[in-house]
Amino acid sequence: MSPDAQGRPRIVLGVSGGIAAYKACELLRRFTEGGASVRVVPTASALNFVGAATWAALSGNPVSTSVWDDVHEVPHVRIGQQADLVVVAPATADLLAKAATGQADDLLTGTLLTARCPVLFAPAMHTEMWEHPATVENVATLRRRGVIVLDPASGRLTGADTGPGRLPEPEQIYAAALRLLERGVSGGGADLAGRRVVISAGGTREPLDPVRFLGNRSTGLQGYALAETALARGAEVVLVSANVELADPAGAKIVRVGSAEELRVAVFDAAADADVVVMAAAVADFRPARVVDAKIKKSDHDPEPLALVRNADVLAELCAARPRTGQIIIGFAAETGDASGSVLDHGRAKLERKRCDLLVVNDVGADESGRSKAFGSPDNAAVILGADGSETPVPRGPKSALSDVIWDLALERLA
């Protein structure tokens, strides 16, 4: 990165002419409060929605749309050359078309051509415009070049219209931007560009009655970190989310499920054309043999023993089926050591049974304070076992760091 004189990362916030331009004010606030130096570069039409004075006041930097202002500083070249990250939010269909075809008729499009840092587009437009073949092709072109183009959210659009095309929420765009800054990926270095990945996250719940269920402690943090990292590296992401209470990663397709069987169906459906499938969700091994229609009442008598039946082994079935030739399948093993073996002993045995390409082995026992070392923690440590006999230890650190190692190993095997 090339920080400014105060050591702050330099971010260019491009704003094109859509009604969602007002949301970029919140994104700008997050960037500046996060310690970045931000130069806002709007298009002329964007100033019909939010004026230059607002951008200048919020960013503390001058604002212009023209290449003819401060010509001696050659702004259409210098701004892009000096940036650590360029984010365009909202990115209209017109702006995406200009970027895809290399047009440079104003300061923002000129900046995009000279930027050699990560570039992130957050589209916003009506559904018909987003789904038009021209926009689809422009987005595909940009992604092939290593540019990160988030999928828009679905929801209320201008007027009474609803559908795909809504600008992702500022906090989601901000999270995606931070991942790009952390990686420092060059404009052409999104190494998962063109890859489609499926990730399961969270923990399944097996109903006992209308109010009770059998569940587990998984929060989905690791699976969501994997999704955010894959998006930052250019992948198309399908996230099968089981009972997770986290903000959706901007740009991911979210499929919500509850039980193990629902997760199984969703994963197999999404895996049909996936390059990589990562089973990070904690899937229940058992479910109640009988689900009661009414709430089970407490009585003076001891409850009847709970009869359980085995759920399908989704990871083993997936590995046996291999929905796509050359597909890489990655499993997770949440283990604790016991009298029969260590955490790694159990992990190696599971890798042999499941027949996946990689198995991420977590020690989920309690730490000194009695809390789980993995579930609900922002940090994680693991040993990644390979079907080729490799073992890759990953020391405790942010779950995003473990995610990057997992994707690195997946890419090696895809190659």
What are the residues whose beta carbons fall under 8 Å from the beta carbon of 221, sequence distance 6 or more? 246, 376, 377, 378, 399
Q: Which residue is it, tokens 């130096």?
A: 37
Buried b (16+ CB within 10 A) or exposed e, 116-150: ebbbbbbbbbbbebbeeeebeebbebbbeebbbbb
Considering only CA atoms, which of 89, 93, 167, 164 is closest in space to residue 129? Answer: 93
What's the sign of the alpha-carbon dihedral 326, 415, 86, 181?
Answer: positive
CA 333 to CA 382: how far, in whole Å?
A: 10
Q: Which residues are catalytic?
A: 216
Structure tokens at 276: 């990589």
Considering only CA atoms, which of 271, 285, 283, 273 is closest in space to residue 199? Answer: 271
CA 173 to CA 184: how far, in whole Å?
A: 17
Query: What distances in angstroms separate CA 216 from CA 58, 331, 382, one per listed residue?
Result: 45, 17, 20
Structure tokens at 121: 């587009």
Instruction: Find the length of the chain.
Output: 415
Q: Which residue is it, tokens 């109010």?
A: 211
Centroid of chain to Cα 41: 26
CA 196 to CA 151: how far, in whole Å?
A: 14
